[in-house]
Amino acid sequence: MSSEPRSGRPRASSREVLAEAACELFLEQGYAATSVSDITRRAGVSRSSFFNYFPSKADVLWGGFDERVARLSTSPDAGADADPDAAVRRALVEAVDGFAPDSLALALANSRQMGLDDELEREASVRQARIARHVAGRLRSAGAGELRAAVAGAAYGGAVLAAVEEWARQGAGRVSLRDVLVRALSLLGVTGP
């Protein structure tokens, strides 16, 4: 028995294996026809392992994005910045910086083939609302009025999700999500990260 490390490609995490298995199955048989049991069988893990990583089948696609959005709660408070909108922009751009193509990008690019159009629309609206609430809260804490904070939150949330969709459409590995988001924010009349 050798104690030397194995050479070759490192083992993927169960999270990655599950996401890959799910995407394969969604392409083969469609999202609605694929069960969590199908995914775990393909990945060679137990159902409990699946639920250790993902609360639901839809979360397989959104896990990496959700981790990035969660970073917003640890970014510096907008109230500490002379320009709260600049702090929000920086936090959003930093949250997506380095986001690599994953199951979400594959699903967005192949939504019809995977039978995911309705599911992606529902789940995207949940993420957009989370971002909007977070941004609105940050702006309110910096002194913005309720209406301004709500409108700005909705606009920023929409810009992030539109950027993610455009990034996937362009071929996620060819352009950075960060660059697409900066462009999307500029369309709101908001410049600079």
Please report the pLDDT score of residue 9 as a whole number.
42
Largest CA-CA distance found in the chain, in angstroms, rounded: 68
pLDDT the model gives residue 8: 44
Domain ranges of the chain: 14-53, 59-187
pLDDT profile of the chain (193 residues), mean per 10: 43 79 95 96 93 93 91 69 85 91 91 94 96 94 93 97 95 91 90 51
CATH number of the domain at 59-187, out of 3.20.20.70, 3.30.360.10, 1.10.357.10, 1.10.3720.10? Answer: 1.10.357.10
Q: What's residue 79's pLDDT?
A: 53
What pLDDT shows up at residue 81? 62
Cβ atoms of 177 and 108 closer than 8 Å: no
- HSE on the CB side for 33, CA within 13 Å? 10
Cβ-count burial 115-131 (b if 16+ within 10 Å, e if not): bbeebbeebbeebbebb
Radius of gyration of the chain from Cα atoms?
19
CATH of domain 14-53: 1.10.10.60
Q: What is the dihedral of CA 180, 185, 191, 193, to 10 degrees?
A: -60
User: Rounded to whole angstroms, how far apart are CA atoms 165 and 107?
Assistant: 10
